[in-house]
Structure 1
Amino acid sequence: MILATLDNLYANINIQTVACAIPVAVILYHVIPFLLDPQGIRKYPGPFLAKFTDFYLAYISKGQHRSEILHDYHLKHGPIIRIAPNHISIADPDALNAVYGHGNGTLKSDFYDAFVSIHRGLFNVRDRQDHTRKRKIIAHIFSQKSVIAFEPKIQMYVGTFMKQWDRLFDMAVKGQSGDDGEGGWEGKNGRLYLDVLPWTNYLAFDMIGDLAFGESFGMLENLKDIALAPKDPKSMMEDYGKEGKKGELIPVPAISILNTRGEFNLTMSAIPPRWRPLVRLLPGFSQGSKAVQDVAGMAITAVSKRLATPTDRVDLLSKLQSGRDSDGNPMSREELTAEALTLLVAGSDTTSNSTCAIFFFLAQNRQAQDKLHKELDEQLGTEDEFVATAEQIKRLPYLEACINEGLRIHSTSGIGLPRIVPEGGMTYKGEFFPGGTILSVPSYSLHRDPAVWGEDFEDFRPERWFERDQAAMNKAFNPYSLGPRGCVGRNLAAMEIQIFIASVMRRYDLALETPGQKMEVAEGFLRKPLQVRLGIKRRDL
Structure 2
Amino acid sequence: MSLLGSLLGLDFASLVYIAVSLVVLGHVIPYLLDPHAIRAYPGPFLARFTDLWLGHVAAMGHRSEVVHEMHQKYGKFVRIAPNHLSIADPDALQLVYAHGNGSLKSDFYDAFVSIQRGLFNTRSRPEHARKRKIVSHIFSQKSVLEFEPHVRLYVAQLFKHWDRLCEQGAKGLNGNDGEGGWSGRDGRVWFDCLPWYNYLAFDIIGDLAFGAAFGMLQSCRDAAPVAMSHKDAMAGYGADDKLEIEYLPAVQVINDRGTYSASMGVLPPWVRPYVKWLPWFNKGQKAVKSLAGIAIAAISQRLKTPTDRRDLLSKLQEAKDDEGKPMSKEELTAEALTQLIAGSDTTSKSVLISSCAITYYLAHTPRVQGKLQKELDEALGNEDDPVTTFQSTKALTYLEAVINESLRLHATSGVGLPRLVPPGGLTVCGRTFPEGTCLSVPTYTIHRDPAIWGEDVNEFRPERWFEQDKVDIQKTFNPFSFGPRSCVGRNLASMELLIIIASIFRRYEFVMEERDHHFDTVEGFLRKPVECKVGMKRRTT
TM-score (norm. length: structure 1): 0.96
Contact 1:240 1:246 in 2 (8 A): no
Q: What secondary structure is seen at the aligned counterpart in 2 of 1:229?
A: strand
User: What's 1:20 paired with?
Assistant: 17
User: What's 1:306 paired with?
Assistant: 302
Offset, 1:385: 4.7
Taking only aligned residues, the RMSD between alpha carbons, in angstroms, comes to 1.2
Aligned: 1:65 with 2:62: yes
Structure 2 letter corresponding to 1:197: L
C-alpha separation in 2, matches of 1:516 and 1:17: 57
Which deviates more from structure 2 when the two are superposed, residues 437-446 or residues 374-383? 374-383
User: What's 1:368 paired with?
Assistant: 368
C-alpha separation in 2, matches of 1:232 and 1:460: 47
C-alpha separation in 2, matches of 1:180 and 1:539: 22
Structure 2 letter corresponding to 1:501: I
C-alpha separation in 1, matches of 2:257 and 2:409: 24
C-alpha separation in 2, matches of 1:165 and 1:420: 47
Contact 1:413 1:527 in 2 (8 A): yes
Q: What secondary structure is seen at the aligned counterpart in 2 of 1:22?
A: helix
Offset, 1:181: 2.5
User: What's 1:116 paired with?
Assistant: 113
Contact 2:394 2:498 in 1 (8 A): no
C-alpha separation in 1, matches of 2:39 and 2:522: 31
Offset, 1:382: 5.5
C-alpha separation in 1, matches of 2:498 and 2:160: 19
1:133-212, aligned counterparts within 5 Å? Answer: 133-212=130-209
Contact 2:521 2:528 in 1 (8 A): yes
- Residues 473-501 of structure 1: CA deviation (Å, up to 9, x unaligned): 12110000111110001000110011000
1:282-293, aligned counterparts within 5 Å? Answer: 282-293=278-289
User: What's 2:538 paired with?
Assistant: 538
Moved over 6 A (4+): none
Q: 1:251 aligns with which of 247, 251, 266?
A: 247
Structure 1 letter corresponding to 2:404: N
C-alpha separation in 2, matches of 1:236 and 1:221: 26
Q: What secondary structure is seen at the aligned counterpart in 2 of 1:391?
A: helix
TM-score (norm. length: structure 2): 0.96
User: What's 1:276 paired with?
Assistant: 272
C-alpha separation in 2, matches of 1:265 and 1:301: 22
Offset, 1:174: 1.0
1:450-469, aligned counterparts within 5 Å? Answer: 450-469=450-469
User: What's 2:47 paired with?
Assistant: 50
User: What's 1:226 paired with?
Assistant: 223
C-alpha separation in 1, matches of 2:237 and 2:468: 56
- Residues 103-138 of structure 1: CA deviation (Å, up to 9, x unaligned): 101011111100000111000011111111101110
- Residues 481-530 of structure 1: CA deviation (Å, up to 9, x unaligned): 11111000100011001100000000111100223111101000000011
User: What's 2:406 paired with?
Assistant: 406
C-alpha separation in 1, matches of 2:481 and 2:27: 33
Q: What secondary structure is seen at the aligned counterpart in 2 of 1:111?
A: helix
Offset, 1:284: 1.7
Offset, 1:12: 8.2
C-alpha separation in 2, matches of 1:459 and 1:264: 31
- Residues 333-358 of structure 1: CA deviation (Å, up to 9, x unaligned): 12221222222222222221111011
Offset, 1:400: 0.2
1:315-464, aligned counterparts within 5 Å? Answer: 315-348=311-344, 349-381=349-381, 383=383, 385-464=385-464
- Specify whether residues 13 and 130 from structure 1 end up closer, same or farther in structure 2 by C-alpha distance, changes over 3 A only: closer
Contact 2:91 2:429 in 1 (8 A): no
Offset, 1:384: 5.2
Offset, 1:383: 4.8
Structure 2 letter corresponding to 1:484: P
Offset, 1:162: 1.2
- Residues 5-64 of structure 1: CA deviation (Å, up to 9, x unaligned): xxxxx9885322212111111111101111111111100111111110111111100000
C-alpha separation in 2, matches of 1:114 and 1:220: 32
Contact 2:387 2:503 in 1 (8 A): yes
User: What's 1:5 paired with?
Assistant: none
Offset, 1:287: 1.0
Offset, 1:386: 1.2
Offset, 1:241: 3.3
Structure 1 letter corresponding to 2:305: T
Q: 1:37 aligns with which of 31, 34, 39?
A: 34
User: What's 1:482 paired with?
Assistant: 482
User: What's 2:71 paired with?
Assistant: 74
- Residues 411-447 of structure 1: CA deviation (Å, up to 9, x unaligned): 1001111111011111123211000001111111111
User: What's 2:3 paired with?
Assistant: none
Q: What secondary structure is seen at the aligned counterpart in 2 of 1:273?
A: coil
C-alpha separation in 2, matches of 1:185 and 1:78: 45
C-alpha separation in 2, matches of 1:464 and 1:128: 38
Structure 2 letter corresponding to 1:25: L
Consecutive unaligned residues of structure 2, counting only runs of 5 or more, are 1-6
Contact 1:227 1:253 in 2 (8 A): yes
C-alpha separation in 2, matches of 1:423 and 1:467: 41
User: What's 2:502 paired with?
Assistant: 502
Structure 1 letter corresponding to 2:367: Q
Contact 1:101 1:484 in 2 (8 A): yes
Q: What secondary structure is seen at the aligned counterpart in 1 of 2:390?
A: coil
User: What's 2:291 paired with?
Assistant: 295
Q: 1:265 aligns with which of 245, 261, 278?
A: 261
Structure 2 letter corresponding to 1:246: K
- Specify whether residues 28 and 176 from structure 1 end up closer, same or farther in structure 2 by C-alpha distance, changes over 3 A only: same
Q: What secondary structure is seen at the aligned counterpart in 2 of 1:274?
A: coil
Contact 1:236 1:246 in 2 (8 A): no
Consecutive unaligned residues of structure 1, counting only runs of 5 or more, are 1-9
- Residues 57-107 of structure 1: CA deviation (Å, up to 9, x unaligned): 111000000110010011111111111101111111111110111110101
User: What's 2:520 paired with?
Assistant: 520
Aligned residues: 531
Structure 2 letter corresponding to 1:258: I
User: What's 2:4 paired with?
Assistant: none
Structure 1 letter corresponding to 2:295: A
